[in-house]
Amino acid sequence: MTVLGIETSCDETAAAVVQLSDQGRTEVLSNVIYTQATEHEGFGGIVPELAARAHVERADQITSDALKDAGILDVSQLDGVAATSGPGLIGGVMVGMMTAKAISLSHAIPFIPVNHLEGHALSARLTDDVPFPYLLLLVSGGHTQLLLVSGVGQYRRLGTTIDDAAGEAFDKTAKLLNLGQPGGPKVEDAARSGNDERFAFPRPLHQRDDCDFSLSGLKTAVRVVAERITDLTQQDRADISACFQRAAARHLSHKTLGAMKIAERSGVKTLVLAGGVAANNVIRQHFDEIVQARDWKMVVPPAKYCTDNGAMIALAGAEQIRARGIPDQTKAMELAPRPRWPLDSNPEGARHGGGKKGPKA
Ligand code: KG4
Ligand code: ZN
C-alpha cells in the first residue's frame, strides 16, 4: 500500500510517500519538509495568518517534490492521499486538506483525513518494529500526554498537561533568554556549555501520584531567575537553559514512570517517545535510565520523525486503511478542519484542552 501524506498544521509544510507492506513493514519513499523560519522571525512565535499564507505558497511544490523523489509517475497508482485534518492552526490545516482533496478528486484516489496526534502516536513504526500495545509519551509544541496505544484508533489517556505543553515551555524559555526560535533546539544547544546544578528549579506535582504534567511553574522559575540577574551573560543563559532542561527532563520522566507502573499491570513493557521534544538528547538520556531500571524497551524515532513531518501522516493514513478499510469518501470530503481533536474518547480530556494546538509562543 502506497500513500501520500501532507502535513500543514503548524509551521512545517511537509509531504511524504510511505509504503506499507502486508506484513506491516514500512518504507519511507520520500520525505520533503519546508520549515517556516524567516516568515515568523521577529514576532517571537508563530503568526497563524503568515503560516497559512506560507503553506499556500509551498504546498503544491512540496507535494510534487515528494511524488518525484518517490519515483511516482502516475499519481492514480497511489492507494490514497492523507492530510492532517486537525488539531492545529486552522488556516494551515485547511491548505493541506484542500491540497489533498484536489489530488484525490483529480486522480480518483481515496482521501484519508488524519488526526495529527495519531501521526505522532504511530511515528515510531516508520523505522522500528513496534507491536501494539505500547505506552506513548507524546511531547510536542501543543501537547504533553501519556497514552496507552492498543492499536490504530485505540488510545487511552493516562495523563496530560494541566497547563503548558513541554515544547511551549522550551519555546518560552528560549524567548525569555533571547536565544531565538524554535526554542527546543536553541535551549538544548545553549545548555551544552551550562552548569545544570546552578539553580534549584521546582519539581512540579511531584507528590501527586497521578500522571498529569505541569510545565508553567518551570517557565515562571526561569523568568524569576533571569530577572534576578542584571545583564545576563552567555554563561548565565547556558546555566539557566541547562537547569531548565534538566528539570523538564526530570519531570517528564518522573510522571512517565508512574504511567509505566500502571501500564505494566496490562503487560505493557514498551515505551515510545514522540513529538518534537522527543528529539532532545538530554531528555532521551533521562528516559534511558528509568527504562533500564524497570527492564523496559524504549523506542524513539529519529529526530526528523519526532518533529512534524509528512511521513507520519502518510503512515497513519496507510495504517487506517489497513485496519478499517477506505474511509467513507462522502464523509471524508465533507469533513471540516478541526482546530481541536482529542485522540482518545475520554471526555476527561476536554478539561485540559483535549487536543489544542495553537501558536507556540
Ligand atoms: O511535534 P512538533 O514539531 O510540532 C507540534 O506538533 O507541536 O514539536 C515542536 C516543538 C517545539 O515546541 C520545539 O521547540 C520542540 O518541539 N522541540 C524541541 C527540540 N526540537 C524541537 N524541544 C526540546 N529539544 C529539542 N531538541
Ligand atoms: Zn506535531
- Joined grid coordinates for residue 244: 531548565
CB of 253 closer than 6 A to ligand 1? no
The pLDDT, as a whole number, for residue 361 is: 32
Query: 232 C-alpha vs ligand 2 centroid, how far in Å?
Result: 32
**Which DSSP state fits 161?**
B
- Joined grid coordinates for residue 256: 512517565
What whole-number distance in Å separates Cα of residue 218 and Cα of residue 183? 15
Q: Which CATH number describes the domain made up of 2-124+305-327?
A: 3.30.420.40
Query: 140 C-alpha vs ligand 2 centroid, how far in Å?
Result: 6
Around Cβ 71, how many Cβ atoms within 10 Å?
Answer: 9
Q: Please, which residues bridge with residue 230 across strands?
A: none
> Hey, where are the domains in the chain?
2-124+305-327, 131-300
Prediction pTM value: 0.94
CB of 307 closer than 6 A to ligand 1? yes
Counting atoms of ligand 1 from 1, which one is nearest the CA of 9? 6
- Joined grid coordinates for residue 49: 495568518
Around Cβ 336, how many Cβ atoms within 10 Å?
Answer: 12
The pLDDT, as a whole number, for residue 256 is: 98
What whole-number distance in Å separates Cα of residue 213 and Cα of residue 147? 13
Judge if the upstream peptide bond of residue 182 is cis by omega within 30 degrees of 0: yes
Q: Which is it for the CA torsion 344, 245, 7, 163, positive or negative?
A: positive
Task: Identify which ligand lies nearest to the alpha carbon of 12.
Answer: 1
Asked whether this chain's domains 2-124+305-327 and 131-300 adopt the same fold, the reply is: yes
* Placement of cell 527546543 in the chain: 184
* Placement of cell 464523509 in the chain: 331
What whole-number distance in Å separates Cα of residue 89 and Cα of residue 361? 13
Helix (H, G, I), strand (E, B) or coil at 10: coil
Phi, psi of 263, rounded to the nearest 5 degrees: -65, -35
Best residue among 11, 40, 140 to mutate for probing ligand 1's pocket (most ligand atoms within 8 Å of CB) is: 140
Instruction: For the domain made up of 131-300, give the CATH fold.
Output: Nucleotidyltransferase; domain 5 (3.30.420)
Q: Is there a contact between 32 and 69 (Cβ–Cβ < 8 Å)?
A: yes
- Joined grid coordinates for residue 151: 492499536
What whole-number distance in Å separates Cα of residue 340 and Cα of residue 227? 35
Counting atoms of ligand 1 from 1, which one is nearest the CA of 166? 12
CB of 280 closer than 6 A to ligand 1? yes
Best residue among 7, 117, 251, 277 to mutate for probing ligand 1's pocket (most ligand atoms within 8 Å of CB) is: 277
Maximum separation of any 2 CA atoms in the chain, in Å: 63
Helix (H, G, I), strand (E, B) or coil at 213: strand
The pLDDT, as a whole number, for residue 346 is: 62
* Placement of cell 485522540 in the chain: 343
Give the contacts of 106 (CB within 8 A, at least 6 positions apart).
none
CB of 185 closer than 6 A to ligand 1? yes
* Placement of cell 510517500 in the chain: 17
Per-residue pLDDT of the chain (361 residues; tens, 9 = 90+): 999 999 999 999 999 999 999 888 999 999 999 999 888 887 878 889 999 999 999 999 999 999 999 999 999 999 999 999 999 999 999 999 999 999 999 999 999 999 999 999 999 999 999 999 999 999 999 999 999 999 999 999 999 999 999 999 999 999 999 998 889 999 999 999 999 999 999 999 988 889 999 999 999 999 999 999 989 999 999 999 999 999 999 999 999 999 999 999 999 999 999 999 999 999 999 999 999 999 999 999 999 999 999 999 999 999 999 999 999 999 999 999 999 999 987 645 434 433 444 444 3
Where in the chain does DSSP place strands (E)? 2-7, 12-20, 26-35, 80-86, 111-115, 134-139, 144-151, 154-160, 270-274, 297-299
CB of 358 closer than 6 A to ligand 1? no
Give me Rg for the CA atoms of the chain.
20
Q: Which of 328, 315, 278 is nearest to 298 (CA)?
A: 278
Counting atoms of ligand 1 from 1, which one is nearest the CA of 120? 1
What whole-number distance in Å separates Cα of residue 4 and Cα of residue 111? 10
